[in-house]
Amino acid sequence: MKTVGVIGGMGPAATLDFLAKLFTATPAADDTHHLHVITDNNPRRADRNAAMRADGPSPAPSLIATARFLAAAGAEVLVMPCNAAHAWADEVVAATPVPFVSIIAATVAATRAAVPNVRRVGLLAVEATQAARLYHDGFGPAVEVLSPDMAAFMPLIWAVKAGDMGPAVRAAMAAQGAALVARGAEVLLAACTEVPLVFGPGDATVPVISATDALVTATLAAAL
């Protein structure tokens, strides 16, 4: 089994959710069959949304430093459970020879597996992910990517990051998903790692693909 290095902290709860799901999904009969995971759950990174708007510094130096730290610590596979941070994934990949598992590629693959002929997806993702067109490019021109009402969606993400995962936030996130379905989305992507903390398959009338779950599957494929 390969040692997994996690570039985390964006946000901390999302990283812990990824780690818990990775643990649960690992086919282990006892402690020794689980993965060796080295995690830098560092929330003190430049804001990805501000950086994409050119209103703040780039998170790239911090991401690169963490990738090199994890590689030096023995990581043989790198993962980053934050969709927006993948706007700087090329710089992370270039910083170390350690293989990097993309949450974007993993989620696109999971979506195509679940809905093979998908033509329209609803993208529950933050401003930076939308602006960087990570999923637009990942799916290509044959798939239309629909964005939620960002003025209403972003406060929900900040609420989750602040620890509010209560009924009001969950209902509001479900409403965002329903609005995308009403516009023709055939599948919804929980493509901010905070979204699966408050929204899942039982909250929508179409398939829901969790980017976190997709990354877990891809991480296990790379590490086992």
**From edge to edge, which strands make up the β-sheet containing 208-210?**
144-146, 120-124, 187-190, 208-210
The verdict on whether 82 is a catalytic residue reads: yes
- 176 contact partners, CB below 8 Å, separation of at least 6: 124, 148, 149, 152, 153, 156
Find the catalytic residue in 82, 124, 126, 169.
Answer: 82
Catalytic residue among 51, 110, 192, 211: 192
Residue for token pair 């009001």: 168
Q: What angle do CA 49, 53, 58 make, to 5 degrees?
A: 65
Cα separation of 72 and 10, whole Å? 21
Residues with Cβ within 8 Å of 127's Cβ and at least 6 positions away in sequence, in order, are 49, 52, 53, 150, 154
Q: Which residues are catalytic, by number?
A: 82, 192
